[in-house]
Each structure stands twice: as C-alpha cells, then as structure tokens.
C-alpha cells in the first residue's frame, strides 16, 4: 500500500513538473514570437511564467531531495564507523524534518497574511503563488520520510533511470 502511494506520488510530482515547465515554455516562446513578429507582447506572460517558476522550484525540491540532488557534504559520514555514520544521518533526517515542519507552518502563516493581495497583470491572489512554499516544504517532508530508512541505514538515496542525483547536485 505504501509502495503504491509512493510510486503514485512520485509520478504525479513528475508529471505536474513536466506540465508546468511545458506551459511555461509555450507561454514564453509565444510571447517572444509575438514581440518580434507583431511588435506586441502578451501583457501577463512574464508574470505568469515567474509564478510558474516559483511553483516548479518548490514542487521539484522534494524530488531533488529524494534522488540526492541537493548539495551535500558526505565525506564525514563516509569516514567514520557504520554506527557513527547512521547516528549522523539520523541527526540530519531529524534536523531536516524539524526544518520542513517549521517552514510549512511559517509559510502557511505567510500565505494567510497575503490572502487579500493580488498580482498586477492577472489579478491572481498573491496567496495562491505563495502557497507553493507550504506545499513544497510538505512535499519535501513526505519525500524525506519515504527515503529516511534507507538513507539512515545505508546512506543511499533513491535510484532512478531518468534522474541522476549526483549529476544534478554537482551542477
């Protein structure tokens, strides 16, 4: 059951990112073509693309965490005994979990405080754009909890044919 949930979550997360990136690319491409062919541009294109980029960053952070794509210094836990390494990785997981929980709460409060503001060009509520923060931090927490056991015991992240976490982290 948990394995099915995990596969579904990862697939939904990936497809949402793909669709957002595709829509963003189409909007920007269309805007550039219109600007150079007609001299006019889409008024809302830059604003919507920026907001989509915010959502992509926060939704993609959980997948990057899951596959080891975030910057990390792992020399120390590789240099000590297995028991000490597991203890260090446990502290890392607990620290990250506490940070993600705090940031989910703090960013939810921020979303609540901006609920009456709206964007200039599209009149979209600012809270909708800022909602990417609590959603992203909650997703990072879920992804972390799903890989925590293998990370703590073996120091390994999830493996994927499509995503190379080490290559992504070294960019």
Looking at residue 167, what is its pLDDT? 57
Phi-psi region of 72 (alpha: psi -120 to 50; beta: other; left: phi over 0): beta
Yes or no: say if 58 and 135 are a contact pair by the CB < 8 Å rule. yes
Report the distance separating Cα 47 and Cα 160, nearest Å: 34
> What pTM does this model have?
0.87
Looking at residue 163, what is its pLDDT? 60
Q: Report the chain's mean pLDDT, rounded to a whole number.
A: 90
Mean pLDDT lowest among 2-6, 52-56, 93-97, 104-108 = 2-6
Does the pLDDT of residue 19 top 90, yes or no? yes
Over residues 109-124, mean pLDDT: 92
Looking at residue 165, what is its pLDDT? 53
Over residues 14-30, mean pLDDT: 96
Does the pLDDT of residue 171 top 90, yes or no? no
Does the pLDDT of residue 169 top 70, yes or no? no
Residue 71 — pLDDT band, cuts 50, 70, 90?
confident
Over residues 10-30, mean pLDDT: 96
Q: Where are the domains of the chain?
A: 2-169
DSSP 28-45: HHHHHHHHHHHS---TTH
Averaging pLDDT over each range in 38-42, 67-71, 99-103, which range is the top one? 99-103
Yes or no: say if 109 and 31 are a contact pair by the CB < 8 Å rule. no
Over residues 110-136, mean pLDDT: 94
H helices of 114-154, in order, are 126-130, 132-154
* Position with higher pLDDT, 71 vs 48: 48
Q: What SS3 class is residue 125?
A: strand
Yes or no: say if 45 and 28 are a contact pair by the CB < 8 Å rule. yes
């Amino acid at each position: 059951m948990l394995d099915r949930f995990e596969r579904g979550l990862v697939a939904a997360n990936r497809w949402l990112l793909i669709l957002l990136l595709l829509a963003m690319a189409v909007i920007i491409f269309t805007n550039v073509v219109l600007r150079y062919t007609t001299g006019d541009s889409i008024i809302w294109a830059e604003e919507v693309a920026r907001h989509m980029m915010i959502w992509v960053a926060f939704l993609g952070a959980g997948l990057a965490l899951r596959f080891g794509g975030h910057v990390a210094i792992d020399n120390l836990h590789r240099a000590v005994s297995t028991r000490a390494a597991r203890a260090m990785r446990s502290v890392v997981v607990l620290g990250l979990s506490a940070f993600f929980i705090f940031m989910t709460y703090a960013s939810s409060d921020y979303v609540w405080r901006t609920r009456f503001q709206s964007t200039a060009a599209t009149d979209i509520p600012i809270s909708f754009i800022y909602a990417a923060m609590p959603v992203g931090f909650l997703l990072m927490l879920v992804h972390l909890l799903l890989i925590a056991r293998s990370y703590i015991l073996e120091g390994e992240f999830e493996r994927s044919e499509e995503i190379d976490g080490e290559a992504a982290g070294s960019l």
